[in-house]
Structure formats: structure tokens, C-alpha cells
């Protein structure tokens, strides 16, 4: 078989310009993990249902496993690594998860953090019902949903109280 | 699993896309929210993928005469929040709230959903019920396909190899019309076990049109004119049940789906009527 054609994919990831040459079939989630070595983005089901691979593409949450990296070359991507503050302290949603025990094994957590981060930008004062709705597309096998909902509400509270968040 | 190899083409214009689509075993890549899982599970293995995401001619939503045009790369989320859609064809937005989760809607396209011809797809039912026109370009030029001729079977449309859907036009519904979409799914955001879109027209207090499209109960959406029976629930249900033939699968039995349809049809028609009333007032 002929060698597979490679495409130059250039992204701004968490503020840094990064690039690699990859085959067209490279999923964005794999591009981040394998080619850019950013392993914060997790891969669970690889067909769009679990939400673990959720990243922000030009600010909007999307499934990393349902996009080919080559298709979004030139875009801005934010991963869970990019949601820490510039001084290295936890970002506000990350801090809320820490305080509210929003994670057990942590496998699903990167997808929740990115999803909730984007959700709170749109709706900074969610009700419990809205918080529940916001995370309905993410699965947690440790079934810690109660504390995840608490984490959403806690993050909103932290933002209100003016806690530092660089993103 | 990972997708198998394919050649990737990112055309700079619609004619370029059509040329690329003439290659053997080609497929269009729109939002990828249905196609990528099929590729990753190797249920599909096209040799050529033609990525239309860069074609700005296919972007946007516009009022064109008495129709609302939705371009092939307009994302579900854009359609769901666009004021023209809410004003002129509210049924699209009523249905879209059931389509997947917001994160999927940020990337998936409404036109791609119709092109995919999923019998469980809400927009498939909307297009069939409203008699939408599907705009197609191919090696022999452009043509329009009416929704009723477009949906042929499960995941099967009357598109031929090498054709591209550029957009879909929906007839504008003035305020005498009311609509609704209701469904039951195992989990929030899942495909429906059964669902119903309803469309009614009320002129001077009189019901002058009533039709429904039922989805997830056959290979294509089932459109039924129910004006003659819609005030008598027994007759309505008899008519509807005689025209559907749902399957039993791991999610629900055929009987259960029939039961859902009975309830959902009545509910959808009631909601469509109150929608019409609220639009006229
Ligand atoms: C977890 C999950 C849940 C979902 N739940 C629902 C749901 O409840 N209801 C629902 O309706 N959908 C659901 N979807 C599917 C989603 O709505 C898709 O976005 C949509 O069905 C397909 O649109 P797309 O732009 O992603 O198309 P793609 O995945 O890119 O394409 C799908 C198919 O259509 C063809 N195609 C697409 N656009 C064109 C075009 N312009 N011309 C010719 N052919 C074209 C492609 O070649 C491909 O065969 C779900 C998806 C996921 C991952
Ligand atoms: S890995 Fe992408 S949604 Fe599960
Ligand atoms: S914390 Fe373990 S899967 Fe969610």
C-alpha cells in the first residue's frame, strides 16, 4: 500500500500555536492526545455519546472524537489543560469540582469541565434544573451526578463572588 | 476503533465539490456527527471524503420569497436560535430541541440530518410534513427534490452518487398555522422511540387543515392527513394505527410504540392548536 498522505494541521491550542502532519483520518481527540501530547482530553466511547472528549472549538463545546483534525485546521482549541489560571492555580470550574467532590475516578471530568465552562458563559446563574440539563450529554460511570450538579452551582457561586478565573 | 483510510478533499467552490464527488465511493462530510461514528465503527468506509465545511455559499439562513432557505452547513444550534426560523417556520425549532445535545448541535447540520434520511431524525419528519424542497447539485446540473420523493428508506434517499445537497427550503407558515413536536426517548437527547410532528391551520376559529408526521415507527416518516378524524380520538387512532407498522427492537416492543403513538398524536395535535391560537393572538 502507498504511504498515507499527510496534512499539515495548525491549531492554536490553549493560546499556543501548535502543528503536526497527520493523516486525514486523525480524530481531533487523537490529534490532541497523540500528536500534541495533551492527554487531558479523554476518550471514552469514541462515537459521540459519552462526552469525555469534549473540547472548546473557537469557544464552543464540541466532541473531539467526532471531528477530523484536518477539517478544523486554523481554529482555536481549548482543552481542560487550558482552563487553569495563568499562575497554574485551578480555574473556577476545576476548583468547584475539587471543593464539591465532583469527581471520583476523574475519567469523565475533562469533558464535564469544558462543557460546564462554556455553559456558565452563556448562563452564569443557572437553576438546579438548568444545571442538570447542561450536563445531560455527559456520562459518568462513577455515577457522581449529584456532586457534579453541585459543582456547576458552586462554580456559578464562585464566579459571582469574584474568584479569579483567567478564562 | 479508528476510521479506515480515505482521501480527503476540501473543495474551494461548489463546482469543485461536485467534481470531487464524481470519484468512486465518495461521501460528503458536513458536521460529521452521524458520519464520523459510522467511520470509526467501520460501518462505512468511503474512499473519498469531500469536506464542505469551507464552502461559504452553503452557509446561512435566508427568507427567499415564500420559503425559508437553510444552507447545507448551517449548524443545528444556529438554526435553533435564528429569529427568521422562529418567526416563519417554528416547527423546525420545536423539533430541534429534541435533536441530540447542545454539544452535538454545535457541529451537526440541519441539512446534513435531512440528507442522512434517518427515520428517527426529527428533521426528517419536519421536512416530510411541510413538503420541504431539497436543493441538489450534481454532474448534470441542479435539481430540486420534494421531501416526499427524497426519503426512500432507512438512511436512504433518492440522491444519486455524486450529488450534493446545497440547502433545503421550507414553506413559510403564516400565523394561521400552528405546529408542535413531541416524542418519547429512553434518555434525554437520545433518538426517539416514537415521535410526532403536527401541523394545523385555524381560519376564523375553524380548523381548516390538520396533518401529522410520525417518526421512528417506519423506514421513512409517515405523513397522514387527519383533518377528517382529528376531533374524534377513537377514529383518529384507528386511522393512524392502520398506517403504521412499527418494529420491535432492543429499546421497545412494537406494541409499546403503538401505544406511544396513540398518546403522542393526541398530544401533538392539542399542542399544535394552542400554538396556532397563540400565534394569531
Ligand atoms: C450522541 C448523538 C445523538 C444524536 N441524537 C440525534 C437525535 O436525537 N436526532 C437526530 O435527528 N439526530 C441526532 N444525532 C445526529 C445529528 O443530528 C447529526 O448532526 C445529523 O444527523 C447529521 O448531520 P451532520 O451535519 O453531522 O452530517 P454528517 O455526519 O456529516 O453526514 C451524515 C450523512 O449525510 C450525508 N450528507 C451530509 N450533508 C450532505 C449534503 N449537504 N449533501 C449530500 N450528503 C450529505 C453524509 O455524506 C453522510 O452520509 C445525534 C448524534 C450523536 C453523535
Ligand atoms: S469519546 Fe467522544 S463522546 Fe465519548
Ligand atoms: S468520575 Fe469516574 S467516570 Fe466520572
pLDDT tens-digit map of B42-62: 999 999 999 999 999 999 999
Q: What is the mean pLDDT of chain B?
A: 96
The C-alpha of A165 sits at a distance from chain B's nearest C-alpha, in angstroms, of: 23
- Please report whether residue A165 resides in a domain: no
Stretch B244-265: mean pLDDT: 95
- Please report whether residue A117 resides in a domain: yes
All residues at 6 or more sequence positions from B205 whose CB lies less than 8 Å from its CB, including other chains: none
Name the closest residue on chain A to residue B45, using Cα atoms: A25
Instruction: Write the residue in A60, A67, A115 that is nearest to B32 by C-beta.
Output: A67
All residues at 6 or more sequence positions from B253 whose CB lies less than 8 Å from its CB, including other chains: none
- Please report whether residue B187 resides in a domain: yes
Please determine, for residue A1, whether its predicted confidence score (pLDDT) is greater than 80.
no
User: How far away, in angstroms, is B37 Cα from ligand 2 center?
Assistant: 10
Stretch A127-141: mean pLDDT: 96
- Is any atom of ligand 1 closer than 6 Å to the C-beta of A48? yes
Please determine, for residue B188, whether its predicted confidence score (pLDDT) is greater than 90.
no
Domain count, chain B: 3
Q: CB atoms < 10 A from the CB of B116, how many? A: 20
- Please report whether residue A33 resides in a domain: yes
Please determine, for residue A56, whether its predicted confidence score (pLDDT) is greater than 80.
yes
Look at residue A127 in the predicted model and tell me its pLDDT.
Answer: 98
Domain that holds residue A130: 92-160
The model's confidence at residue A120, banded by pLDDT at 50, 70 and 90, is very high
- Please report whether residue A19 resides in a domain: yes
Q: What is the pTM of this model?
A: 0.96
A69 lies in the same domain as A102: no
Strands B164-171, B177-185: parallel, antiparallel or unpaired by DSSP? unpaired
Asked if residues B151 and B124 have their Cβ atoms less than 8 Å apart, the reply is yes
Can you tell me the ipTM of this complex? 0.95
All residues at 6 or more sequence positions from B87 whose CB lies less than 8 Å from its CB, including other chains: none
Please determine, for residue A116, whether its predicted confidence score (pLDDT) is greater than 90.
yes
Please determine, for residue B148, whether its predicted confidence score (pLDDT) is greater than 80.
yes
Domain that holds residue B247: 177-280
- Please report whether residue B1 resides in a domain: no
Look at residue A102 in the predicted model and tell me its pLDDT.
Answer: 96
Which range has the worst mean pLDDT, A157-161, B237-241, B246-250, B256-260? B246-250
Asked if residues B127 and B171 have their Cβ atoms less than 8 Å apart, the reply is no
Look at residue B1 in the predicted model and tell me its pLDDT.
Answer: 81
Q: What are phi and psi of B168, to 5 degrees?
A: -130, 135
The model's confidence at residue B228, banded by pLDDT at 50, 70 and 90, is very high
Look at residue A122 in the predicted model and tell me its pLDDT.
Answer: 95
All residues at 6 or more sequence positions from B128 whose CB lies less than 8 Å from its CB, including other chains: B147, B148, B151, B213, B220, B221, B223
Stretch A110-134: mean pLDDT: 97
CA-only gyration radius of chain A, Å: 16
Ligand 1 pocket: which of B115, B132, B144, B190 to mutate (most atoms <8 Å of CB)?
Answer: B115
Asked if residues B264 and B183 have their Cβ atoms less than 8 Å apart, the reply is yes
Between residues 17 and 46 of chain A, which touch chain B (CB distance below 8 Å)? Answer: 23-25, 27, 30, 46
pLDDT digits (tens, 9 = 90+) for A16-27: 999 999 999 999
A38 lies in the same domain as A97: no
B151 lies in the same domain as B215: no
Look at residue A4 in the predicted model and tell me its pLDDT.
Answer: 94
DSSP B13-55: SHHHHHHHHTSTTEEEESS-TTHHHHHHTTS---SEEEE-TT-
pLDDT digits (tens, 9 = 90+) for B55-104: 999 999 999 999 999 999 999 999 999 999 999 999 999 999 999 999 99
- Please report whether residue A151 resides in a domain: yes
Please determine, for residue B187, whether its predicted confidence score (pLDDT) is greater than 90.
no
B33 lies in the same domain as B100: no
pLDDT digits (tens, 9 = 90+) for A86-109: 999 999 999 999 999 999 999 999
Stretch B11-16: mean pLDDT: 98
Stretch A123-145: mean pLDDT: 94
Look at residue A164 in the predicted model and tell me its pLDDT.
Answer: 82
Asked if residues B226 and B239 have their Cβ atoms less than 8 Å apart, the reply is yes
**Is there a contact between A71 and B6 if contact means CB atoms under 8 Å apart?**
no
- Please report whether residue A167 resides in a domain: no
B74 lies in the same domain as B158: yes
Amino acid at each position: 500500500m502507498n504511504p498515507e498522505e499527510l496534512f499539515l494541521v495548525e491549531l492554536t491550542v490553549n493560546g499556543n500555536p501548535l502543528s503536526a502532519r497527520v493523516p486525514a483520518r486523525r480524530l481531533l481527540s487523537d490529534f490532541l492526545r497523540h500528536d500534541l501530547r495533551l492527554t487531558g482530553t479523554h476518550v471514552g466511547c469514541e462515537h459521540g455519546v459519552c462526552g469525555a472528549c469534549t473540547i472548546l472549538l473557537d469557544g464552543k463545546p464540541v466532541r473531539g472524537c467526532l471531528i477530523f483534525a484536518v477539517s478544523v485546521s486554523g481554529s482555536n482549541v481549548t482543552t481542560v489543560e487550558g482552563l487553569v489560571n495563568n499562575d497554574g492555580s485551578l480555574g473556577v470550574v476545576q476548583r468547584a469540582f475539587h471543593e464539591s467532590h465532583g469527581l471520583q475516578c476523574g475519567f469523565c471530568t475533562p469533558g464535564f469541565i469544558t462543557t460546564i465552562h462554556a455553559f456558565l458563559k452563556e448562563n452564569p446563574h443557572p437553576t438546579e434544573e438548568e444545571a442538570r440539563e447542561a450536563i445531560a450529554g455527559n456520562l459518568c460511570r462513577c455515577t457522581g451526578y449529584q456532586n457534579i450538579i453541585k459543582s456547576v452551582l458552586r462554580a456559578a457561586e464562585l464566579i459571582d463572588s469574584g474568584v479569579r478565573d483567567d478564562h | 476503533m479508528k476510521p479506515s483510510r480515505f482521501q480527503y478533499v476540501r473543495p474551494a467552490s461548489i463546482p469543485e465539490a461536485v467534481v470531487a464527488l464524481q470519484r468512486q465511493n465518495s461521501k460528503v462530510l458536513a458536521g460529521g456527527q452521524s458520519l464520523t461514528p459510522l467511520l470509526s465503527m467501520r460501518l462505512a468506509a468511503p474512499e473519498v471524503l469531500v469536506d464542505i465545511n469551507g464552502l461559504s455559499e452553503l452557509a446561512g439562513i435566508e427568507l427567499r420569497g415564500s420559503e425559508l432557505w437553510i444552507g447545507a452547513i448551517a449548524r443545528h444550534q444556529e438554526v435553533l436560535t435564528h429569529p427568521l426560523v422562529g418567526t416563519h417556520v417554528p416547527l423546525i425549532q420545536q423539533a430541534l430541541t429534541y435533536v441530540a445535545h447542545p454539544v452535538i448541535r454545535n457541529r451537526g447540520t440541519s441539512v446534513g440530518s435531512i440528507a442522512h434520511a434517518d427515520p428517527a431524525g426529527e428533521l426528517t419528519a419536519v421536512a416530510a410534513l411541510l413538503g420541504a424542497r431539497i436543493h441538489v447539485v450534481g454532474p448534470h446540473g441542479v435539481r430540486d427534490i420534494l421531501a416526499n420523493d427524497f426519503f426512500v428508506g432507512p438512511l436512504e434517499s433518492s440522491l444519486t452518487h455524486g450529488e450534493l445537497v446545497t440547502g433545503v427550503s421550507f414553506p413559510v407558515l403564516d400565523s394561521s398555522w400552528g405546529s408542535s413536536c413531541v416524542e418519547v426517548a429512553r434518555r434525554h437527547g437520545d433518538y426517539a422511540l416514537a415521535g410526532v410532528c403536527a401541523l394545523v391551520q385555524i381560519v376564523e376559529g375553524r380548523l381548516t387543515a390538520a396533518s401529522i408526521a410520525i417518526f421512528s415507527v417506519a423506514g421513512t416518516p409517515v405523513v397522514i392527513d387527519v383533518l377528517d378524524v382529528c376531533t374524534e380520538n377513537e377514529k383518529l387512532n384507528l386511522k393512524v394505527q392502520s398506517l403504521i407498522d412499527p418494529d420491535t427492537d432492543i429499546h421497545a416492543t412494537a406494541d409499546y410504540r403503538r401505544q406511544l403513538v396513540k398518546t403522542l398524536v393526541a398530544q401533538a395535535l392539542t399542542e399544535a392548536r394552542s400554538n396556532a391560537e397563540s400565534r394569531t393572538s
